[in-house]
Amino acid sequence: MTRQTTLRDPAALLDAGLIPAGRLSELERVAARYAVSLTPDLAALIDPSDPHDPIARQFVPDAAELLSREGETADPIGDDTHSPVEGIVHRYPDRVLLKLVHVCPVYCRFCFRREMVGPGRRQSLSRAALAAALDYVRAQPEIWEVILTGGDPLILSPRRLGEVVRALGTIEHVKIIRVHTRVPVAAPDRISAALVRSLKVTGKSTYVVLHANHPRELTAPARAACARIVDAGIPMLSQSVLLRGVNDDAETLGALMRGFVESRIKPYYLHHGDLAPGTAHLRTGIDEGQALMRALHGRLSGLCQPAYVLDIPGGHGKSPIGPSYLEQAKDAGSYVIEDFHGRRHAYPPPCRQRD
Ligand code: SF4
């Protein structure tokens, strides 16, 4: 049976049977530091009898979050160092993030903005701050793409989203509006016809990027919500975070990527876990991520291949960190290339001797 209310603290998780009573006080200490929220749709996917449940691992707090490791920082991808005005992050020349809200329907335990999002953290953009952010975009002709993120922008009403999208629609040099969201899996019923309509504006192309990390998140209602978006002519892409104990095996990751493609969502990014405080227990090694990418390359259609990327700490942007299949050979202009079986081939192929 699907629970009807969003679970917002450890006591509610206890009542729902998702944590044992013995963990309550330590998890209350975690919840005092980082926001907790678990929607009915995602709570219903958790098997409470499985201590390693991959959905619980993403959303149910863990005492390990109280341990910060060396290198972990409050702003691991350097949003604040690239924020010229409130709500805008301008890291790359041709695109900006527009952070409308700092709340989400669910709070991921590995969130890279965990020090910014949640009740009592940063405020949503006021009307005046939004106007200043739009003025910034208007004044920078190199901005081709605006990415609505946060927090989760699809937590806003269709009316409010529509106002923002229409305002972006008046800026000649902005051609692309991209929306980053977890709502289609966390609260699929929110993806109403009115909300989908609000994302479109004449003369601009809208893309929706879904964040999901485990194939179980792609439920029938979640897939139907995505279909409502795609059927309206809005292409969808995916982003996932590589997480220990959630999707760090080839079978699970492959099923996730196939689930995206079956839902007409092109896999886009597989993020290496960011150095957010208290998230070491969920991060893998880069070598593990590369081995998984090799496994996907061998077994799945090219449609199912995301780019494995690392956001360089300090705000230096993303770089691909997937495995390389090409090596320079000893002879100038020659290479050795590896195929999907792991067999190596000279390129160009050696000339055959003629008789
Ligand atoms: S939905 Fe995104 S911003 Fe919100 S908690 Fe999860 S990772 Fe963070």
Tens-digit pLDDT profile for residues 212-221: 999 999 999 9
- Residue identifier of the C-alpha nearest atom 8 of ligand 1: 111
- The single residue listed with the structure tokens 């963990």 is 23
> CA angle 183-185-190, nearest 5°?
45
Tokens at 338, concatenated: 């590896």
Rounded to the nearest whole angstrom, what is the distance from the C-alpha of residue 102 to the centroid of ligand 1? 9
Instruction: Give catalytic status of residue 274 as yes or no.
Output: yes
Instruction: Give catalytic status of residue 92 as yes or no.
Output: yes
Pocket residues: Cβ below 6 A from ligand 1: 104, 107-108, 111, 113, 117, 151-152, 182, 211
pLDDT over 90 (residue 352): no
Rounded to the nearest whole angstrom, what is the distance from the C-alpha of residue 8 to the centroid of ligand 1? 15
Rounded to the nearest whole angstrom, what is the distance from the C-alpha of residue 171 to the centroid of ligand 1? 28
Tens-digit pLDDT profile for residues 175-216: 999 999 999 999 999 999 999 999 999 999 999 999 999 999
Tokens at 94, concatenated: 């041709």
Verdict on whether the full-model pTM lies above 0.85: yes
Give the ligand 1 atom nearest the CA of 186: 1
**How many whole angstroms separate alpha carbon 65 and alpha carbon 63?**
5
Share of the chain above pLDDT 90, in %: 94
DSSP string, 99-160: E--S--SS--TT-TTTTT-STTSSPPPPHHHHHHHHHHHHT-TT--EEEEESS-GGGS-HHH
Tens-digit pLDDT profile for residues 74-126: 999 999 999 999 999 999 999 999 999 999 999 999 999 999 999 989 999 99
Tokens at 64, concatenated: 């390990």
Instruction: Give catalytic status of residue 111 as yes or no.
Output: yes
Tokens at 123, concatenated: 């405020």
- Residue identifier of the C-alpha nearest atom 5 of ligand 1: 107
Tokens at 330, concatenated: 């000893």
Amino acid identity for residue 103 in this structure: V
